[in-house]
Amino acid sequence: MVSPVTVVKSEGPKLVPFFKATCVYFVLWLPASSPSWVSALIKCLPIFCLWLFLLAHGLGFLLAHPSATRIFVGLVFSAVGDAFLIWQDQGYFVHGLLMFAVTHMLYASAFGMRPLALRTGLVMAVLSGLCYALLYPGLSGAFTYLVGVYVALISFMGWRAMAGLQLVGAAWRWTELAAGSGALLFIISDMTIALDKFCFPVPYSRALIMSTYYAAQMLIALSAVESREPVEDYGLSKTN
C-alpha cells in the first residue's frame, strides 16, 4: 500500500499548476453575467492543468492504462461542458449538460464494474430517486427527462466510484478513496447547480459549485494514477 506521504511527495508537484489556476479563477471571480472567451478560458484553466497532470505521467502510461485514458477524455469533455455553461443563459445549458453526461459515462467506465457492491448501488439509487423527486416540481419540458437521465448517470458514476472503497484492511488503496470522494463532491456540485437553477436560489451557489467541482475533478484525476489495476501488477509494471 502506498502511503499518503509518498503520494503527496510524488504527485503534489504535478498538481501545483492546477492549484495556481484554481486560485486565479477565484481571485479574478469574473462576473457570470458577462460571458466571454476570457471567462471561459479562466474557468477551464484548472481542467487544462489536470490534462497536464495526467500527461506528466507519460503518454505511454495513458496508452497502457485504458481507465486512465477514459478519465483523461472525461476531463476533455468536462472542459467543453464548462465552456458551454459560461453561455448557459444564452441557450447552451443543455449542451453543457450533455458534455458532462458523457463525462460521467467515461468516469463510470474507468472505475469499472468490479466489485459490484450491490448495496452501495441500492443506496445510490434511492438517493438519486430522492434528488429527482426534489427537483421534479421545478422541471418542465425536455428538462423533465434530461435531468432525470443526468441524475441517473451521475448516480451510476458515483456507485462505481464508491464500489471499491475500503477504508480498512489490506485492500485499502488511496486511489479508491480519491475516486469515491471526488464522485461525492461532483454530485454535491451538480445538485447545487440543479437546485439553484430549477428550485430556489442557493446562497453563495457559485462558490459552492466551483469549489466542490474543482476538488472533485482533481480527486478523480488523482485516482487515475494507479488506474484501478491490481496492486501487484502495478508494482511490477513500475519496476520494469
The span from the CA of 1 to the CA of 104, in Å, is 28
CB within 8 Å of 108: residues ≥ 6 apart: 153, 156, 157, 159, 160, 161
- One digit per residue, the tens of pLDDT, for the chain of length 240 reads 566 667 767 898 999 999 999 999 999 999 999 999 999 999 999 999 999 999 999 999 999 999 999 999 999 999 999 999 999 999 999 999 999 999 999 999 999 999 999 999 999 999 999 999 999 999 999 999 999 999 999 999 999 999 988 766 655 678 889 999 999 999 999 999 999 999 999 999 999 999 999 999 999 999 998 755 543 444 444 444
Q: How many angstroms separate the CA atoms of 224 and 55, rounded? A: 11
For residue 22, CA distances in Å to 15, 214, 234 come to 11, 8, 31
pTM: 0.91
Distance between terminal CA atoms of the chain? 19
